[in-house]
A and B are shown apart, each in its own frame.
Chain A
Amino acid sequence: MFTAVIWGVAGMGLVLSWTKNREKTRKALQFFQRAFLSLAPSIVAIIWTIGFILTFLPSEFVLGTIGRNAGIMGVVIAAVFGSIVLIPAFIAFPLAASFLRQGADVRGIAAFVTTLVMVGVLTAPLEVKFFGRRFTLLRNSFSFVLALAIAFVMGEVLR
Protein backbone atom coordinates (compact mmCIF):
# COMPACT_ATOMS: atom_id res chain seq x y z
CA MET A 1 0.00 0.00 0.00
CA PHE A 2 2.63 2.50 1.11
CA THR A 3 4.84 1.21 -1.68
CA ALA A 4 2.22 1.77 -4.39
CA VAL A 5 1.45 5.27 -3.10
CA ILE A 6 5.07 6.36 -2.95
CA TRP A 7 5.88 4.99 -6.41
CA GLY A 8 2.80 6.80 -7.73
CA VAL A 9 3.79 10.08 -6.09
CA ALA A 10 7.42 9.77 -7.24
CA GLY A 11 6.31 8.90 -10.78
CA MET A 12 3.85 11.78 -11.00
CA GLY A 13 6.46 14.13 -9.55
CA LEU A 14 8.97 13.08 -12.20
CA VAL A 15 6.48 13.54 -15.05
CA LEU A 16 5.37 16.92 -13.73
CA SER A 17 8.98 18.01 -13.21
CA TRP A 18 9.95 16.82 -16.72
CA THR A 19 7.20 18.86 -18.39
CA LYS A 20 8.19 21.97 -16.44
CA ASN A 21 11.95 21.87 -16.48
CA ARG A 22 14.11 19.15 -18.03
CA GLU A 23 17.37 20.43 -16.57
CA LYS A 24 16.08 20.26 -12.99
CA THR A 25 14.62 16.82 -13.62
CA ARG A 26 17.96 15.61 -14.92
CA LYS A 27 19.59 16.95 -11.77
CA ALA A 28 17.03 15.12 -9.64
CA LEU A 29 17.72 11.84 -11.45
CA GLN A 30 21.46 12.27 -11.04
CA PHE A 31 20.91 12.79 -7.32
CA PHE A 32 18.88 9.56 -7.26
CA GLN A 33 21.54 7.59 -9.14
CA ARG A 34 24.39 8.80 -6.94
CA ALA A 35 22.49 8.14 -3.69
CA PHE A 36 21.22 4.74 -4.77
CA LEU A 37 24.58 3.40 -5.93
CA SER A 38 26.32 4.52 -2.75
CA LEU A 39 23.65 2.92 -0.56
CA ALA A 40 23.07 -0.39 -2.34
CA PRO A 41 26.05 -2.40 -0.95
CA SER A 42 25.33 -1.39 2.66
CA ILE A 43 21.69 -2.31 2.22
CA VAL A 44 22.53 -5.78 0.95
CA ALA A 45 24.92 -6.30 3.89
CA ILE A 46 22.31 -5.17 6.44
CA ILE A 47 19.59 -7.37 5.00
CA TRP A 48 21.82 -10.41 4.79
CA THR A 49 22.67 -9.97 8.49
CA ILE A 50 18.97 -9.74 9.35
CA GLY A 51 18.43 -13.01 7.46
CA PHE A 52 20.95 -14.72 9.77
CA ILE A 53 19.54 -13.24 12.97
CA LEU A 54 15.93 -14.09 12.20
CA THR A 55 16.88 -17.62 11.17
CA PHE A 56 18.98 -18.50 14.20
CA LEU A 57 17.21 -16.72 17.04
CA PRO A 58 14.35 -18.86 18.36
CA SER A 59 11.41 -17.13 20.05
CA GLU A 60 11.46 -19.50 23.09
CA PHE A 61 14.88 -18.12 23.94
CA VAL A 62 13.53 -14.57 23.69
CA LEU A 63 10.58 -15.37 25.91
CA GLY A 64 12.83 -17.01 28.50
CA THR A 65 15.02 -13.93 28.78
CA ILE A 66 12.24 -11.35 29.00
CA GLY A 67 9.83 -13.31 31.18
CA ARG A 68 8.25 -11.83 34.29
CA ASN A 69 10.91 -13.34 36.54
CA ALA A 70 13.80 -11.92 34.59
CA GLY A 71 13.66 -8.59 36.45
CA ILE A 72 15.46 -5.45 35.41
CA MET A 73 18.03 -7.40 33.42
CA GLY A 74 15.15 -8.85 31.40
CA VAL A 75 13.93 -5.35 30.55
CA VAL A 76 17.40 -4.30 29.43
CA ILE A 77 17.77 -7.44 27.32
CA ALA A 78 14.37 -6.79 25.74
CA ALA A 79 15.52 -3.25 24.91
CA VAL A 80 18.75 -4.56 23.39
CA PHE A 81 16.80 -7.12 21.39
CA GLY A 82 14.43 -4.42 20.10
CA SER A 83 17.41 -2.27 19.13
CA ILE A 84 18.97 -4.99 17.04
CA VAL A 85 16.11 -6.65 15.20
CA LEU A 86 14.42 -4.95 12.33
CA ILE A 87 10.89 -6.23 11.97
CA PRO A 88 7.92 -4.35 10.58
CA ALA A 89 5.32 -3.14 13.08
CA PHE A 90 2.60 -5.34 11.65
CA ILE A 91 4.64 -8.38 12.66
CA ALA A 92 6.12 -6.93 15.87
CA PHE A 93 2.85 -5.92 17.55
CA PRO A 94 1.13 -9.32 17.26
CA LEU A 95 4.41 -10.93 18.39
CA ALA A 96 4.61 -8.60 21.40
CA ALA A 97 0.94 -9.29 22.20
CA SER A 98 1.57 -13.03 22.19
CA PHE A 99 4.61 -12.58 24.46
CA LEU A 100 2.44 -10.54 26.86
CA ARG A 101 -0.23 -13.25 26.94
CA GLN A 102 2.42 -15.88 27.59
CA GLY A 103 3.57 -13.99 30.64
CA ALA A 104 6.23 -11.53 29.54
CA ASP A 105 6.93 -8.48 31.70
CA VAL A 106 4.96 -5.42 30.52
CA ARG A 107 8.10 -3.33 31.04
CA GLY A 108 10.05 -5.66 28.79
CA ILE A 109 7.41 -5.48 26.08
CA ALA A 110 7.27 -1.68 26.30
CA ALA A 111 11.08 -1.49 26.12
CA PHE A 112 11.13 -3.91 23.18
CA VAL A 113 8.47 -2.05 21.18
CA THR A 114 10.01 1.37 21.87
CA THR A 115 13.59 0.46 20.97
CA LEU A 116 12.31 -1.53 18.00
CA VAL A 117 10.94 1.62 16.41
CA MET A 118 13.43 4.20 17.71
CA VAL A 119 16.81 2.46 17.87
CA GLY A 120 18.33 0.81 14.83
CA VAL A 121 21.66 -0.93 15.26
CA LEU A 122 21.44 -2.66 11.90
CA THR A 123 20.40 0.49 10.06
CA ALA A 124 23.07 2.55 11.86
CA PRO A 125 25.54 2.19 8.95
CA LEU A 126 22.92 3.81 6.71
CA GLU A 127 22.23 6.53 9.27
CA VAL A 128 25.98 7.23 9.50
CA LYS A 129 26.10 7.71 5.74
CA PHE A 130 23.53 10.49 6.00
CA PHE A 131 24.17 12.11 9.38
CA GLY A 132 27.64 11.04 10.46
CA ARG A 133 28.90 8.85 13.29
CA ARG A 134 28.41 11.30 16.11
CA PHE A 135 24.77 12.07 15.38
CA THR A 136 23.93 8.38 14.83
CA LEU A 137 25.63 7.20 18.01
CA LEU A 138 24.03 9.91 20.13
CA ARG A 139 20.54 9.66 18.65
CA ASN A 140 20.47 5.91 19.16
CA SER A 141 21.96 6.04 22.68
CA PHE A 142 19.58 8.76 23.86
CA SER A 143 16.66 6.84 22.34
CA PHE A 144 17.78 3.66 24.09
CA VAL A 145 17.99 5.31 27.50
CA LEU A 146 14.65 7.06 27.12
CA ALA A 147 13.04 3.83 25.91
CA LEU A 148 14.13 2.24 29.20
CA ALA A 149 12.69 5.22 31.10
CA ILE A 150 9.39 4.88 29.22
CA ALA A 151 9.32 1.16 29.99
CA PHE A 152 9.83 1.63 33.73
CA VAL A 153 7.21 4.38 33.96
CA MET A 154 4.77 2.13 32.09
CA GLY A 155 5.58 -0.69 34.47
CA GLU A 156 4.63 1.52 37.42
CA VAL A 157 1.42 2.82 35.83
CA LEU A 158 0.13 -0.48 34.42
CA ARG A 159 1.03 -2.59 37.43
Chain B
Amino acid sequence: MKIKVVPAILAALAAATVITWASRPDKALAVVSVSKDYLFEMLSILPPVLILCGLFDAWVSKRTVERLMGEASGIKGTCIAFVLGTVAMGPLYAAFPIGKSLLDKGASLYNVAVFLCVWAAIKIPMVLFEIKFLGTEFALLRLVLTVPAILIIAALLNTVRLNTSRIQ
Protein backbone atom coordinates (compact mmCIF):
# COMPACT_ATOMS: atom_id res chain seq x y z
CA MET B 1 0.00 0.00 0.00
CA LYS B 2 2.82 2.33 0.91
CA ILE B 3 4.25 1.83 -2.58
CA LYS B 4 1.11 3.31 -4.10
CA VAL B 5 0.66 6.23 -1.70
CA VAL B 6 3.95 7.94 -2.49
CA PRO B 7 3.54 8.00 -6.30
CA ALA B 8 -0.01 9.30 -5.81
CA ILE B 9 1.27 12.15 -3.64
CA LEU B 10 4.03 12.88 -6.15
CA ALA B 11 1.47 13.01 -8.96
CA ALA B 12 -0.74 15.36 -6.92
CA LEU B 13 2.25 17.63 -6.20
CA ALA B 14 3.20 17.69 -9.87
CA ALA B 15 -0.38 18.57 -10.82
CA ALA B 16 -0.51 21.31 -8.16
CA THR B 17 2.76 22.74 -9.46
CA VAL B 18 1.47 22.82 -13.03
CA ILE B 19 -1.77 24.51 -11.93
CA THR B 20 0.20 27.06 -9.91
CA TRP B 21 2.43 27.65 -12.93
CA ALA B 22 -0.62 28.40 -15.06
CA SER B 23 -2.01 31.04 -12.69
CA ARG B 24 1.07 32.38 -10.87
CA PRO B 25 4.33 31.46 -12.62
CA ASP B 26 6.37 33.37 -9.98
CA LYS B 27 4.89 31.29 -7.15
CA ALA B 28 5.52 28.05 -9.04
CA LEU B 29 9.13 29.10 -9.53
CA ALA B 30 9.42 29.84 -5.80
CA VAL B 31 8.03 26.38 -4.97
CA VAL B 32 10.52 24.71 -7.28
CA SER B 33 13.50 26.72 -6.08
CA VAL B 34 12.72 26.22 -2.37
CA SER B 35 12.19 22.50 -3.00
CA LYS B 36 15.43 22.27 -4.95
CA ASP B 37 17.40 23.86 -2.07
CA TYR B 38 15.94 21.42 0.47
CA LEU B 39 16.41 18.47 -1.86
CA PHE B 40 20.11 19.25 -2.24
CA GLU B 41 20.42 19.65 1.50
CA MET B 42 18.79 16.29 2.19
CA LEU B 43 20.66 14.51 -0.58
CA SER B 44 23.95 15.86 0.70
CA ILE B 45 23.34 14.46 4.18
CA LEU B 46 21.45 11.20 3.74
CA PRO B 47 23.92 9.15 1.63
CA PRO B 48 26.85 9.40 4.08
CA VAL B 49 24.50 8.73 7.02
CA LEU B 50 23.20 5.59 5.32
CA ILE B 51 26.75 4.50 4.41
CA LEU B 52 27.72 4.83 8.07
CA CYS B 53 24.64 2.82 9.05
CA GLY B 54 25.67 0.15 6.54
CA LEU B 55 29.18 0.01 8.01
CA PHE B 56 27.73 -0.08 11.53
CA ASP B 57 25.45 -2.91 10.45
CA ALA B 58 28.31 -4.91 8.93
CA TRP B 59 30.95 -4.35 11.62
CA VAL B 60 29.40 -3.79 15.05
CA SER B 61 28.18 -6.95 16.68
CA LYS B 62 24.76 -7.27 18.19
CA ARG B 63 26.33 -8.33 21.46
CA THR B 64 28.28 -5.08 21.84
CA VAL B 65 25.25 -2.84 21.31
CA GLU B 66 23.16 -5.03 23.59
CA ARG B 67 25.77 -4.78 26.33
CA LEU B 68 26.18 -0.98 26.00
CA MET B 69 22.59 0.09 25.33
CA GLY B 70 20.35 -2.94 25.86
CA GLU B 71 17.64 -3.54 28.45
CA ALA B 72 20.22 -4.41 31.11
CA SER B 73 22.52 -1.43 30.44
CA GLY B 74 20.73 0.77 33.00
CA ILE B 75 21.68 4.41 33.46
CA LYS B 76 24.96 3.91 31.63
CA GLY B 77 23.10 2.96 28.44
CA THR B 78 20.82 6.00 28.74
CA CYS B 79 23.85 8.26 29.24
CA ILE B 80 25.44 6.81 26.10
CA ALA B 81 22.21 7.44 24.17
CA PHE B 82 22.11 11.00 25.55
CA VAL B 83 25.71 11.81 24.60
CA LEU B 84 25.30 10.23 21.14
CA GLY B 85 22.34 12.55 20.58
CA THR B 86 23.98 15.78 21.76
CA VAL B 87 27.20 15.45 19.79
CA ALA B 88 25.29 14.83 16.58
CA MET B 89 24.69 17.75 14.27
CA GLY B 90 22.37 16.68 11.48
CA PRO B 91 18.60 17.07 11.18
CA LEU B 92 16.24 14.59 12.84
CA TYR B 93 15.61 12.58 9.71
CA ALA B 94 19.31 11.68 9.69
CA ALA B 95 18.82 10.14 13.15
CA PHE B 96 16.03 7.76 12.05
CA PRO B 97 18.27 5.24 10.24
CA ILE B 98 20.84 5.41 13.06
CA GLY B 99 18.22 4.85 15.76
CA LYS B 100 16.74 1.98 13.76
CA SER B 101 20.18 0.36 13.42
CA LEU B 102 20.71 0.67 17.18
CA LEU B 103 17.28 -0.86 17.84
CA ASP B 104 17.92 -3.76 15.44
CA LYS B 105 21.25 -4.40 17.13
CA GLY B 106 19.63 -4.78 20.53
CA ALA B 107 19.55 -1.31 22.11
CA SER B 108 16.50 -0.87 24.33
CA LEU B 109 13.49 1.05 23.05
CA TYR B 110 13.84 3.48 25.95
CA ASN B 111 17.44 4.30 25.02
CA VAL B 112 16.65 4.65 21.32
CA ALA B 113 13.76 7.01 22.16
CA VAL B 114 16.11 9.08 24.36
CA PHE B 115 18.66 9.14 21.55
CA LEU B 116 16.08 10.32 18.98
CA CYS B 117 14.57 13.03 21.19
CA VAL B 118 17.94 14.34 22.37
CA TRP B 119 19.17 14.43 18.78
CA ALA B 120 16.06 16.42 17.88
CA ALA B 121 16.09 18.88 20.76
CA ILE B 122 19.46 19.23 22.50
CA LYS B 123 22.31 19.52 20.05
CA ILE B 124 25.12 21.59 21.55
CA PRO B 125 25.66 23.95 18.58
CA MET B 126 21.91 24.50 18.43
CA VAL B 127 21.72 25.43 22.12
CA LEU B 128 24.52 27.99 21.62
CA PHE B 129 22.63 29.38 18.67
CA GLU B 130 19.44 29.64 20.69
CA ILE B 131 21.28 31.49 23.49
CA LYS B 132 22.59 33.96 20.95
CA PHE B 133 19.21 34.76 19.42
CA LEU B 134 16.61 34.16 22.10
CA GLY B 135 18.67 34.94 25.19
CA THR B 136 20.36 32.87 27.91
CA GLU B 137 17.31 32.86 30.17
CA PHE B 138 14.97 31.59 27.47
CA ALA B 139 17.37 29.00 26.06
CA LEU B 140 18.58 27.53 29.36
CA LEU B 141 15.09 27.40 30.86
CA ARG B 142 13.86 25.58 27.78
CA LEU B 143 16.82 23.20 28.02
CA VAL B 144 16.21 22.48 31.71
CA LEU B 145 12.55 21.69 30.96
CA THR B 146 13.32 19.65 27.85
CA VAL B 147 15.55 17.07 29.57
CA PRO B 148 12.87 15.69 31.92
CA ALA B 149 10.32 15.97 29.08
CA ILE B 150 12.48 13.68 26.94
CA LEU B 151 12.88 11.14 29.75
CA ILE B 152 9.09 11.17 30.24
CA ILE B 153 8.45 10.68 26.51
CA ALA B 154 10.92 7.78 26.36
CA ALA B 155 9.39 6.17 29.46
CA LEU B 156 5.86 6.54 28.02
CA LEU B 157 6.92 5.01 24.69
CA ASN B 158 8.59 2.18 26.54
CA THR B 159 5.53 1.48 28.73
CA VAL B 160 3.13 1.49 25.80
CA ARG B 161 5.34 -0.97 23.91
CA LEU B 162 5.50 -3.26 26.96
CA ASN B 163 1.73 -3.21 27.40
CA THR B 164 1.03 -4.12 23.79
CA SER B 165 3.46 -7.00 23.83
CA ARG B 166 1.75 -8.31 26.93
CA ILE B 167 -1.70 -8.08 25.34
CA GLN B 168 -0.72 -9.83 22.13
Contact = CB atoms under 8 A, between A and B. Distances in A.
Interface of A: 1-3, 5-7, 9-11, 13-14, 17, 24-25, 27-32, 35-36, 39, 41-45, 47-52, 54-56, 86, 88-90, 93-94, 96-97, 100, 106, 109-110, 113-114, 117-118, 120, 123, 125-127, 129-131, 134-135, 138-139, 142-143, 146-147, 149-150, 153-154, 157-158
Interface of B: 2, 6-7, 9-10, 13, 16-17, 27, 30-35, 38-39, 42-55, 57-59, 89-93, 96-97, 99-100, 103, 113, 116-117, 120-121, 126, 129-130, 132-134, 137-138, 141-142, 145-146, 149, 152-153, 156-157, 160-161, 164
Contacts, number: 204
A51 B31 contact: yes
Interface of B: prevailing SS = helix
Contact of A118 (B52, B120, B132): B120
B27 A39 contact: no
B133 to A, nearest CB: 4
12 contacts: A29-B51, A31-B58, A39-B50, A51-B35, A55-B34, A93-B132, A96-B134, A97-B134, A109-B134, A123-B96, A134-B160, A157-B141
